[in-house]
Amino acid sequence: MVIATVRLWGRSIGAVLMEEGRDHAAFQYDPAFARSGIELSPLVMPLSDRVYEFPTLPRDAFHGLPGLLSDSLPDRFGNALINAWLATQGRTPESFTPVERLCYTGTRGMGALEFSPALGPRPRKATTIEIDALVQLASDILSHRNALQASLAGAAREKALNDILRVGTSAGGARAKAVIAWNVETGELRSGQIAAGEGFDYWLLKFDGVSANRDKELDDPKGYGAIEYAYHLMAKAAGITMTDCRLLEENGRRHFMTRRFDRLAGGEKLHMQSLCALAHLDFNQPGAHGYEQALLTIRQLQLPMAALEEQFRRMAFNIVARNQDDHVKNIAFLMDKQGRWSLAPAFDVTYSYNPSGA
């Protein structure tokens, strides 16, 4: 039996339990939080004393967890890193349950949900990171190049593994990326999972030049970050709301960077949920869901007309600009400490065209 406490902004909101031999978890709100009026998942998990279980949700998309929690799980790249760490601990990926993966994420996940007890290596301070070493190790892990133990041998590789575990396991998404703290004045990059100090802002960095880096079937070409940056400029010109984005040039590579929208100035966290999590929609079924469901969710959350207009603009842009990576995990919503919801800025806006429509 594996149990984890779920916390938000310093208080317990509930617990999640996965019993041995079962393929899905059970979640219950803390009785005090159930009376708080702060709805974290208003459409499918409203505040209640009931035990929430969703055994029929697609396992590939939700991993036996309610959407509220599955959004905090690592995706393809983060899981590949965790599996590499598990190999150094003598454990198989199958032995590490989804609840344990939440605990591995701990306080480092996207959004504001936190999980305890914490598992895995825990950095005590934000250390400087070397992008070149992380790109090489990410390539080795994603392409399964060489025997894993041999690939991770040596003090330098051990440091690189620790660095990439600090920054890469919780960012979400299929492609290789890192959660970083960046000092614009000095250019210094640090791990962005804990407070990095004065002068640092928090960003997501998508690695350029990583072997076997992909969302679907085809590897991304070198220079893919520059394409995404061009799309960012086009989207902004079309009136679409996005956070600040940059290109970090390093050793002939151009890494795409975007400022985190789930963090306020000073690092304060905002609760974040994807459309997938809020409405329990399977992101692995291309074509099964439409923008009508996104617009309906905006109305159900009672967001203003400006949010509907913004989502319509994004829809039109994605069609014209051939962005077919517009699945239900790439639409997100934010909630502040007062329980007010808003449509998150657009993200993962880039060329992604498949003639078959998948």
Report the chain's mean pLDDT, rounded to a whole number. Answer: 86
Which residue type, as a one-letter code, is found at position 326? D
pLDDT of residue 345: 99
Cα separation, 317 vs 343, in Å, equals 17
Between the alpha carbon of residue 304 and those of residues 11, 70, 241, 341, the distances in Å are 30, 27, 15, 10
Which amino acid appears at position 329 of this protein?
K
Mean pLDDT of 230-242: 98
Q: Determine the pLDDT at residue 146.
A: 45
Top pLDDT among 254 and 75 is at: 254
- Supply the pLDDT for residue 123: 57
Mean pLDDT of 236-249: 96
Distance CA 16, CA 100 (A): 11
pLDDT of residue 160: 65
pLDDT tens-place string over residues 266-324: 788 999 999 999 999 999 887 789 999 999 999 999 999 999 999 999 999 999 999 99
CB 147 within 8 A of CB 217: no
Nearest to 323 by CA among 291, 354, 292, 295: 354
Q: What is the pLDDT of residue 145?
A: 46
Determine the residue type at 334.
L
For 104-156, the pLDDT digits (tens) are: 889 888 999 999 997 766 555 666 777 887 787 777 777 664 444 445 555 55
Largest Cα–Cα distance of the chain, in whole Å? 56
Both tokens assigned to 59: 């396992």
Q: Distance between CA atoms of 106 and 100, rounded to whole angstroms?
A: 10
pLDDT of residue 355 exceeding 60, the answer is yes
CA torsion angle for 284, 287, 292, 297 (degrees, to 10)? Answer: 0
Q: What region, left, alpha or beta, does residue 280 occupy, with left being phi > 0 and alpha being psi -120 to 50 degrees?
A: left
Q: What is the pLDDT of residue 343?
A: 99
Q: Which of 42, 34, 35 is nearest to 6 (CA)?
A: 34
Q: How far is CA 90 from CA 85, 106, 117, 127, 221, in A?
A: 9, 21, 20, 27, 34
Instruction: Determine the pLDDT at residue 177.
Output: 84
pLDDT, one tens digit per residue, over 249-274 is: 988 889 999 999 999 877 889 999 99
Q: Which helix (H) or strand (E) holds 14?
A: strand 11-18
pLDDT, position 207: 87
- Average the pLDDT over 223-235 and give the result: 95
Q: What is the pLDDT of residue 161?
A: 67
Distance CA 247, CA 257 (A): 6
The residue extents of the domains of the chain are 2-116, 131-259, 271-343
- Token pair, residue 271, equals 């609760």
45, with CB counted inside 10 A (0-12, 13-18, 19+), is buried
pLDDT in tens, 153-198: 555 556 666 667 666 666 666 678 888 888 888 888 877 766 667 7
Q: Would you state the pLDDT for residue 156?
A: 54
Percent of the chain with pLDDT over 70: 83
Per-residue tokens: 314:
């994004």
Q: What is the pLDDT of residues 12-66, one digit of tens each?
A: 999 999 998 889 999 999 999 999 999 999 999 999 999 999 999 999 999 999 9
Q: What's the rounded Cα separation, in Å, for the pair 74 and 140?
A: 19
Residue 316 has which token pair? 């039109």
Contacts from 15-23 at CB under 8 Å and sequence distance 24+? 16/65, 16/66, 16/69, 16/99, 16/102, 17/99, 18/64, 18/97, 18/98, 18/99, 22/64, 23/55, 23/59, 23/64
Residue 335 has pLDDT above 60, yes or no: yes
Q: What is the pLDDT of residue 285?
A: 84
